[in-house]
A and B are shown apart, each in its own frame.
Chain A
């Protein structure tokens, strides 16, 4: 079962693929660049190149080296784990096709998260953010209570767009404000939007708003709008920030009036 489609028409294909990888042995050692060269085949993606290097870890100068490490799983751009910076842009390495990239291809770990080794980073702060903003529906219980609230297809489609966030971190990598986990960031704000729009989720929206207010909250957004351009899932992140900004202001105002 090995038939590979060849569709991309282009100029004469190159004989090799040159890849420069920004490496690090462990969190306590410095970063360095190492160059690799592998034979060209059509339809290679970055993952296949890394697999090729992993199988036979020899660098461009012919020296044996340690195999570069990275994270990968679904290879269909839906799990988000293989995100890295490719030719300067954060994206998933599974969907980065060599034929569409300028050589030498430069691979770097995401810069906004602690670098574990080579191309692996620790993105647990993003999951901490999801905890902080209560990104879930408060169910009464998982026993059978019949269907959920009725909803129009339009509402569903708007929520679906936010619900596709795979917590990859491209938005945070692109955000000029996010540095050292000083800002809750677009991904968590979009999840607040997702649940605050839901008829049941609305009931507990104050808890979510509390999670994006205050220090390191939504007001740290500098309106650079890089996030929405960086998002591989096309999530309307700036719209979420706008809507939630409005909600927090109203919430603050109402809270003040109540006192």
Chain B
């Protein structure tokens, strides 16, 4: 294939970005790849447990359809079904591709790929490389991308940060503005299409299991320039993390997949060491409440149960912690299958989890929501695509463990040909187009200069901490409308105080202060999308749980939340969910799927509180909070179909050959 001078920019060098870069370079086209860290150090390295694909090597009758059904069921039917189905169908070939790239996947005695169990399924469906699968997959793509770097097809811009898109007068994406994090130099990079693959926004919650680059800043910039942001309120809180001063370190679900059991002493005042507490005096609450799935219920359920136990004062030593116990498994097996994560626990806590039960607590982990994309990973801005955690497309209201790695690669593999097709058909910029780049460059330069010059008594890091605390306290596991409203007020206050921060670094060379200030502004905008999206959704579904509205409400809320930036804040509308393949049914993990399907089909209580604080419902506010009440009170007003969304890309300059 001849490249005809096409240039595609990819922002983010994790699994999704690298997967797309590799595919585009393989097609013979040029890629500019931007990353705030060397791509080999992206957050994908943190994924531990594995990657899902229904290969059925254990004779369990697994199939890609079963994987698809588990994914949609686990996501509480909020995902559009066709892309989820396609992902599950591609998953086995994605795993085999990584196998061919040399990823050291664990093996069976016949030398075949081994698979383990993960949450939300009854099948062994998760391929794994020890307990550092994300690291191994990322390295495999990093290696292939380096191969194309040597041939000149891929140019890397590491330690460069995207600040904004360059849009032309017709709102078509024509490239981006990026900042060199060493010199703070800004530069415009023209591109025929831009793929955003920058991962999740965990830093909005202050401490999370995410890496420090996961601010959601670039995604927020796209949102503020007109990209739709979908299902922002769906934030996954992982049931098992290790609380720390600087972050919440992940303890992989694979610990439970390999037989780890969650428990607390039956008597909350029991102060004996865990090994001294006999079996009969331990409360294995997940196993007792969910006999069919036990410790491998989906994450949202495990998280709420652990959270509830601790709120009731029944955590270990009455603190916010429960046991995750692996001590019944032989140390040799643990080392082989979970070595990497046990080392992390040992290193940061000091106890040996082979002999002492780990103490864990839920932590913010993943955003199911993200940039709105169509089935070809295209956003509503022509020429802008998105892939990986930063898009909303696959996981609905809750993501199943080990589905993130496969969705990243899937997203990259779909976005790459879609970007090429778009770029092939777009009319290039004329010679006089340089003014759009100059204008955007000037605008971004002015924002930087403004921040450098402004002075006031506010501290950007303190503001970040406050935002994180409010978001974690009020917009995570349990959500109350009055608290959500207060949180939005708080965010507005923080935005106001942001105007009075002063950059505390007089040395601008390689400074961390200015980039952080830029992130903070973008994080605050996205925090409002998350908070108000949650406020508006008066039901409980997947990771979104409101005690005031404990049931799933398909009649009113089986729809995708869409946030668009108004200039002042988010404007909300809703879009129907594509349920063309599987009829929504009650989600019930106390029974196997067949038994649950036989139960009456109605909104099921997502979580039964056992006597903890229940707040009165706050129903006094408007139905939908946002800037433009007229528009938002008519949720289905902008109810464009997928096809129409696709057309707008054609009209705006690109042409697709349907």
Task: State whether B321 touches A5 (Cβ < 8 A).
Answer: yes
- Interfacial chain B residues near A69, Cβ < 8 Å: 505, 510-512
Task: State whether B359 touches A120 (Cβ < 8 A).
Answer: no
- Interfacial chain B residues near A67, Cβ < 8 Å: 504-505, 512-513
- Interfacial chain B residues near A51, Cβ < 8 Å: 246, 461
A160-B130 contact, Cβ under 8 Å, with A69-B512, A135-B146? yes
Task: State whether B43 touches A73 (Cβ < 8 A).
Answer: yes
Task: State whether A136 touches B147 (Cβ < 8 A).
Answer: yes
- Interfacial chain B residues near A3, Cβ < 8 Å: 243, 319-321, 361
User: A12 at the A/B interface (Cβ < 8 Å)?
Assistant: no
User: A258 at the A/B interface (Cβ < 8 Å)?
Assistant: no
Residue B41 contacts which of A25, A74, A136, A160 (CB distance < 8 angstroms)? A74
User: A159 at the A/B interface (Cβ < 8 Å)?
Assistant: yes
User: B651 at the A/B interface (Cβ < 8 Å)?
Assistant: no
Task: State whether B22 touches A142 (Cβ < 8 A).
Answer: yes
Question: Which residue from chain B places its CB closest to the CB of A75 in the assembled complex?
Answer: B247
Binds A, one of B169-177, B344-352, B367-375, B449-457: B344-352
Q: How far, in angstroms, from A194 to B101 measured CA to CA in the complex?
A: 12
Question: Which residue from chain B places its CB closest to the CB of A67 in the assembled complex?
Answer: B505
User: A105 at the A/B interface (Cβ < 8 Å)?
Assistant: no
Q: How far, in angstroms, from A215 to B40 measured CA to CA in the complex?
A: 27
Number of A-B residue pairs with CB-CB distance less than 8 Å in the complex they form: 217
Task: State whether B512 touches A47 (Cβ < 8 A).
Answer: no
Question: Which residue from chain A places its CB closest to the CB of B205 in the assembled complex?
Answer: A1
Task: State whether A5 touches B45 (Cβ < 8 A).
Answer: no
Q: How far is the CB of A247 from chain B (nearest CB, A)?
A: 18
User: B132 at the A/B interface (Cβ < 8 Å)?
Assistant: yes
Q: How far is the CB of B89 from chain A (nearest CB, A)?
A: 11
Interface residues of B in 566-580 (CB under 8 A from A): none
Task: State whether A78 touches B135 (Cβ < 8 A).
Answer: yes
User: A146 at the A/B interface (Cβ < 8 Å)?
Assistant: yes
Q: How far, in angstroms, from A80 to B46 measured CA to CA in the complex?
A: 11
Chain B's interface size range is 35 or more
Q: How far, in angstroms, from A200 to B23 measured CA to CA in the complex?
A: 21
A195-B245 contact, Cβ under 8 Å, with A116-B182, A136-B143, A156-B107? no
- Interfacial chain A residues near B246, Cβ < 8 Å: 45, 47-48, 51, 75, 94
User: B99 at the A/B interface (Cβ < 8 Å)?
Assistant: yes
- Interfacial chain A residues near B41, Cβ < 8 Å: 73-74, 79-81, 166
Q: How far, in angstroms, from A91 to B348 measured CA to CA in the complex?
A: 14
Question: Which residue from chain B places its CB closest to the CB of A44 in the assembled complex?
Answer: B245
Q: How far, in angstroms, from A146 to B112 measured CA to CA in the complex?
A: 12
A76-B250 contact, Cβ under 8 Å, with A57-B504, A66-B506, A136-B146? yes
Task: State whether A144 touches B143 (Cβ < 8 A).
Answer: no
Task: State whether B104 touches A78 (Cβ < 8 A).
Answer: no
Q: How far, in angstroms, from A77 to B247 measured CA to CA in the complex?
A: 12
Q: How far is the CB of B568 from chain A (nearest CB, A)?
A: 30
- Interfacial chain B residues near A152, Cβ < 8 Å: 107, 111
Interface residues of B in 305-354 (CB under 8 A from A): 319-321, 336, 340, 344, 347-351
Q: How far is the CB of B111 from chain A (nearest CB, A)?
A: 4
A151-B111 contact, Cβ under 8 Å, with A73-B43, A78-B132, A142-B97? yes
User: A242 at the A/B interface (Cβ < 8 Å)?
Assistant: no
Encode contact with A along B90-122: 1 for CB under 8 Å, 0 otherwise.
000100110111111111111111000000000
Residue A25 contacts which of B38, B40, B340, B507 (CB distance < 8 angstroms)? B507
Task: State whether A117 touches B509 (Cβ < 8 A).
Answer: yes
Task: State whether B510 touches A116 (Cβ < 8 A).
Answer: yes
A156-B504 contact, Cβ under 8 Å, with A1-B362, A130-B146? no
Task: State whether B38 touches A144 (Cβ < 8 A).
Answer: no
User: A61 at the A/B interface (Cβ < 8 Å)?
Assistant: no
Residue B243 contacts which of A4, A57, A141 (CB distance < 8 angstroms)? A4
Task: State whether B100 touches A200 (Cβ < 8 A).
Answer: yes
Residue B129 contacts which of A56, A66, A79, A160 (CB distance < 8 angstroms)? A160
Residue A74 contacts which of B38, B43, B108, B146 (CB distance < 8 angstroms)? B43
Q: How far, in angstroms, from A163 to B146 measured CA to CA in the complex?
A: 16
Q: How far is the CB of B266 from chain A (nearest CB, A)?
A: 21
User: B612 at the A/B interface (Cβ < 8 Å)?
Assistant: no
User: B244 at the A/B interface (Cβ < 8 Å)?
Assistant: yes
Task: State whether A195 touches B102 (Cβ < 8 A).
Answer: yes
Encode contact with B along A42-71: 1 for CB under 8 Å, 0 otherwise.
011101100100111100000000110101
Q: How far, in angstroms, from A72 to B321 measured CA to CA in the complex?
A: 27
- Interfacial chain B residues near A120, Cβ < 8 Å: 510
Interface residues of A in 20-39 (CB under 8 A from B): 25-26
Q: How far, in angstroms, from A192 to B461 measured CA to CA in the complex?
A: 43
A79-B45 contact, Cβ under 8 Å, with A43-B245, A47-B246, A67-B504? yes
Task: State whether B248 touches A1 (Cβ < 8 A).
Answer: yes
Interface residues of B in 17-54 (CB under 8 A from A): 22-23, 26, 37-38, 40-43, 45-46
Encode contact with A along B479-507: 1 for CB under 8 Å, 0 otherwise.
00000000000000000000000001111
Interface residues of B in 224-258 (CB under 8 A from A): 242-250
Q: How far is the CB of B441 from chain A (nearest CB, A)?
A: 24
Interface residues of A in 129-161 (CB under 8 A from B): 130-131, 134-139, 141-142, 144-148, 150-153, 156-157, 159-160
Task: State whether A43 touches B244 (Cβ < 8 A).
Answer: yes
Most chain A beta-carbon contacts within 10 A, residue among B23, B40, B43, B144: B40
- Interfacial chain B residues near A54, Cβ < 8 Å: 461, 512
Task: State whether B510 touches A167 (Cβ < 8 A).
Answer: no
Task: State whether A25 touches B509 (Cβ < 8 A).
Answer: yes
Most chain B beta-carbon contacts within 10 A, residue among A5, A118, A163, A195: A5
Task: State whether A66 touches B505 (Cβ < 8 A).
Answer: yes
Question: Which residue from chain B places its CB closest to the CB of A160 in the assembled complex?
Answer: B104
Question: Which residue from chain A places its CB closest to the CB of B22 in the assembled complex?
Answer: A142
- Interfacial chain B residues near A78, Cβ < 8 Å: 45-46, 132, 135, 340, 344
A164-B504 contact, Cβ under 8 Å, with A5-B321, A117-B509, A142-B97? no
Question: Which residue from chain B places its CB closest to the CB of A201 in the assembled complex?
Answer: B102
Q: How far, in angstroms, from A136 to B142 measured CA to CA in the complex?
A: 9
Q: How far is the CB of B404 from chain A (nearest CB, A)?
A: 15
Q: How far, in angstroms, from A201 to B26 measured CA to CA in the complex?
A: 19
Interface residues of B in 127-158 (CB under 8 A from A): 129-130, 132, 135-136, 139, 143-144, 146-147, 149-150
User: B540 at the A/B interface (Cβ < 8 Å)?
Assistant: no
- Interfacial chain B residues near A166, Cβ < 8 Å: 40-41, 45, 135
Most chain A beta-carbon contacts within 10 A, residue among B101, B207, B242: B101
Q: How far is the CB of B55 from chain A (nearest CB, A)?
A: 9
Q: How far, in angstroms, from A26 to B40 measured CA to CA in the complex?
A: 25
Question: Which residue from chain B places its CB closest to the CB of A43 in the assembled complex?
Answer: B245
User: B211 at the A/B interface (Cβ < 8 Å)?
Assistant: yes
Residue B26 contacts which of A5, A79, A135, A142 (CB distance < 8 angstroms)? A142
Encode contact with A along B616-643: 1 for CB under 8 Å, 0 otherwise.
0000000000000000000000000000
Q: How far is the CB of B241 from chain A (nearest CB, A)?
A: 9
Interface residues of A in 217-232 (CB under 8 A from B): none
- Interfacial chain B residues near A200, Cβ < 8 Å: 100, 102
A75-B249 contact, Cβ under 8 Å, with A163-B104, A163-B139? yes
User: A41 at the A/B interface (Cβ < 8 Å)?
Assistant: yes
A5-B100 contact, Cβ under 8 Å, with A66-B507, A73-B43, A136-B147? no
User: B201 at the A/B interface (Cβ < 8 Å)?
Assistant: no
- Interfacial chain B residues near A47, Cβ < 8 Å: 246
Residue A142 contacts which of B23, B242, B504 (CB distance < 8 angstroms)? B23
Q: How far is the CB of A92 from chain B (nearest CB, A)?
A: 10
User: B459 at the A/B interface (Cβ < 8 Å)?
Assistant: yes
Most chain B beta-carbon contacts within 10 A, residue among A138, A159, A160: A160
12 A/B residue pairs, CB under 8 Å, sorted by A: A1-B363, A7-B350, A43-B244, A69-B505, A69-B512, A71-B37, A73-B213, A78-B46, A80-B41, A131-B149, A156-B104, A195-B102
The 4 closest A-B pairs by CB, nearest first: A136-B143, A150-B111, A148-B99, A3-B320
Given contacts A45-B348, A73-B37, A73-B213, 15 further A-B contacts (CB under 8 A): A2-B207, A3-B319, A57-B504, A71-B37, A78-B46, A78-B340, A79-B211, A116-B182, A117-B509, A131-B150, A136-B146, A163-B103, A163-B104, A164-B135, A167-B38
